[in-house]
Structure 1
Amino acid sequence: MRRRQILAAGALATTTAAVGPAAVAAPAPSGRTTPPGNGSTTPPGLATKDTLAFAAGDVLAIGCAVAGGGHHLSQPYPAPFTHDETYRAVLAAEFTSLSAENQMKWDHLRPSRDAFDFTDADAIMEFAAQNGLVVRGHTLMWHNQIPAWVTEGEHSPEELRAILKEHIETVVGRYAGRMQQWDVVNEIFDDAAVLRTEGNIWIRELGPEIIADCFRWAHAADPQALLFVNDYNVEGINPKSDAYYALIQDLLADGVPVHGFSTQGHISIRYGFPSDLAENLQRFADLGLQTAITELDVRMDLPEGGRPTEEQLAKQAEYHRLVVEAAVSVEGCRSLTLWGVLDKYSWVPGTFPGEGAATVLWDDFTRKPAYDAVQDALAEASGRAGHPALRS
């Protein structure tokens, strides 16, 4: 794992928007369990090495989704990444990997057929480079967040194939040599473990063979990037993860460059913990793949008033700890990403009404018990448990 110098909170490089595809240019320690409202102005991890990044050491990349795009466009606050300096400072201090929550999805990158807009994606890449963080690309082929000019356009299958190929070659090629991993295909099986032959425009119009093509195109555009399949509700061994297990074996047998399997990790304390998480990851690792947890958050049903109970917070912390312990127990699981770090920027309340509090920090940047659980589990795995820097 590369270590890095923490830059000032405001150190964000200027980025450049890209136009048509033919014209694309190269590119605080105290208050660990303090509830919100304590008035603290020192974000955790900035004064000492008391951070998730330090605790993780070289065990794995500990990542965070960069809030922005998607549902954030309709929220009553400015774009977090460009307007919240403390938030950016925490991203740089606490993590060694970043993922774009929405800024690298189709609807954000492709305003029209003949134009790309890389402004926000480039800003994340520049910030990561300045702070020595790696980046996971998310996502190249998905059935959601596709612009209307694609879904409502009258395109022949040949035209759709050319559009998808152009998109993958342009986006992956732009960041070639700078992207650690890509989620190439995302959520291609439904909750019944059936391939989305209707709901996914690419599979519906181009056939299941397009899955292999996406991996081949991405690999040709950036041979260094690790290429993943990614989905939710595949934490344990179940029909959906079984479907991926069978699919990936077929792809590998055909020489398709699939390098990794990742489970998102959107979990609720309403349900039991997937106790076979490690076993599931291990069977994919046994195929020679890397594995990853890519979108970890642990939501809960909020009591009246919106304040979680101590029991809920303790259970949330336990779930976080169990995920980290499972991840570090599997050789080849080299990446664990939290899907957000502050509740006010979380996707959960807008998607699951009545649920929330899914992240590891309170909105004033003080730490929930879940933060301590992640940090402690990482420190134990890296041999840094009890290190003075973690208990200052």
Structure 2
Amino acid sequence: MPSTTRPSRLRLGFAGALAALLVAAGTAGGPAAQAGEQHRAKTLGDLAQRHGRYFGSATDNPVLTDTAYTKILGHEFGMITPGNSMKWEATEPRQGVFDFTKGDEVVEFARANRQKVRGHTLVWHNQLPGWLTSRQWTADELRTVLKNHIQTEVRHYRGKVYAWDVVNEAFNEDGTWRESLFYKTLGPGYIADALRWAHEADPKAKLYVNDYNVEAVGPKSDAYYALAQQLKAQRVPLHGFGLQAHLALQYGYPTTLEDNLRRFARLGLDTALTEVDVRMLLPATEEKLAQQADWYRDLTKACLAVRRCVGITVWDWTDKYSWIPEFFPGEGAALPWDEQFAPKPAYHAIRDALKRR
């Protein structure tokens, strides 16, 4: 609570001189001074929390050694998602032999900074260990393996992980089932089983299905809508739908995003934008950065407009550590901070959206 005592003229004079020194230092300081100013302002996490939402970032273990990076990561966000350290390849590299070292490191970082954690991901067709993909499994064998993996990991993080992406990327673009190891061996029922097993292991965790290219109303998001209806009718513990929101300027903005969020909310589900970035064809220009800022503003406003959209997570926060250039050659500049950790127009657009509502 601020003091109500009037400061003396001497104190006012000192304060004014100090302020002048700080302004001068900030003017000379460039990005470092901007980062300091950011630190004193309300963070994105603070602003989102005022709306009952979170604003989070993904991170990965190798970058946690960058102290300039971790200072902003630990301060600006209310939620952390481990990018890779909770995936099957990392957590069960040999059958029945679990290693949670890297996941624990991220969870401990979040705990130290009073941040929640989204677990990512329990069942996915990618980043599976060789022992799992190199042999044929009977349905009974794979059910046993899948249940053991899910329940061992979820129990390990019980009470430490707020929500899980239980099943990731289960459908093709046309809404047909992805022919993953799990679908081909177990059929579509593997999703209900995975959700039930995760719920048994941690009844308080929020459980999501998660995918990309589902931001707009269309065949792929329709498939998830039908799946969610079915799971809810069967009383399967599904609590949320994650829309990754890996967007690209050259493909256009998903204008039906808000409508899509609303229809899942009407099913009684939370929604979240879980892996947000907005890439562009390089080089970045002022025009492209302005368009990117508009998209970040619009998707933030869409989430705020739907009561059950609980939060937004950027897929890391700085272009320095973005996954985009490696996987989409010639594209990049996808995140709200640049490679020098200076905020871009997108950062200010997000702040503007969070402050206005």
Given the two structures, how large is their TM-score scaled by the length of structure 1? 0.81
> What is the identity, as a one-letter code, of the residue corresponding to 1:333?
C
1:66 aligns with 2:59: yes
Classify 1:302/1:131 alpha carbon distance in 2 versus 1 (closer, same or farther; 3 Å): same
Aligned residues: 331
Q: Post-superposition shift, 1:38?
A: 5.1
- Cα deviation per residue 1:180-236 (whole Å; 9 max; x = unaligned)? 11111110001121111x2x1011111111110000000010110111111101101
The structure with the largest alpha-carbon Rg is: 2
Partner of 1:195: 177
1:145 aligns with 2:155: no
Contact 1:45–1:93 (CA<8 Å) still a contact in 2? no
- Cα deviation per residue 1:7-34 (whole Å; 9 max; x = unaligned)? xxxxxxxxxxxxxxxxxxxxxx99xxx9
In 2, distance between residues paired with 1:173 and 1:84?
A: 30
Secondary structure of the residue that 1:217 maps to in structure 2? helix
In 2, distance between residues paired with 1:103 and 1:111?
A: 12
**Relative contact order, CA 8 A, sep 6+: which one is greater?**
1
Partner of 2:225: 245
Q: Post-superposition shift, 1:129?
A: 1.2
- Cα deviation per residue 1:316-346 (whole Å; 9 max; x = unaligned)? 1001000000000001111110011111211
- Alignment map for 1:148-167 (pairs within 5 Å): 148-167=130-149
1:286 aligns with 2:253: no
The worse-fitting range, judged by mean Cα deviation, of 50-59 and 155-164 is 50-59
> What is the identity, as a one-letter code, of the residue corresponding to 1:320?
Y
Q: Post-superposition shift, 1:111?
A: 1.4
Secondary structure of the residue that 1:129 maps to in structure 2? helix
Partner of 1:98: 80
- Cα deviation per residue 1:102-158 (whole Å; 9 max; x = unaligned)? 111111112111311111100111111111111111111111111111000343322
Partner of 1:49: 41
Q: Post-superposition shift, 1:42?
A: 6.3
Provide runs of 4+ in structure 1 moved above 6 Å: none
Classify 1:46/1:118 alpha carbon distance in 2 versus 1 (closer, same or farther; 3 Å): farther
> What is the identity, as a one-letter code, of the residue corresponding to 2:331?
E
Q: Post-superposition shift, 1:361?
A: 0.6
Contact 2:56–2:79 (CA<8 Å) still a contact in 1? yes
- Alignment counterpart, residue 169 of structure 1, candidates 151, 155, 165: 151
Structure 1: unaligned runs, 5 residues or longer: 1-28, 69-78, 382-392
- Alignment map for 1:89-128 (pairs within 5 Å): 89-128=71-110
Classify 1:205/1:316 alpha carbon distance in 2 versus 1 (closer, same or farther; 3 Å): same
> What is the identity, as a one-letter code, of the residue corresponding to 2:181?
I
Partner of 1:268: 248
- Alignment counterpart, residue 235 of structure 1, candidates 206, 215, 238: 215
Contact 2:276–2:315 (CA<8 Å) still a contact in 1? yes
In 2, distance between residues paired with 1:47 and 1:266?
A: 27
Partner of 1:80: 63
Contact 2:58–2:275 (CA<8 Å) still a contact in 1? yes
In 2, distance between residues paired with 1:335 and 1:181?
A: 12
In 1, distance between residues paired with 2:90 and 2:287?
A: 39
1:131 aligns with 2:113: yes
Structure having the higher helix fraction is 2
> What is the identity, as a one-letter code, of the residue corresponding to 1:354?
G
Secondary structure of the residue that 1:43 maps to in structure 2? helix
Backbone CA RMSD of aligned residues = 1.8
- Alignment counterpart, residue 317 of structure 1, candidates 270, 293, 300: 293
Q: Post-superposition shift, 1:275?
A: 1.1
Partner of 1:374: 350
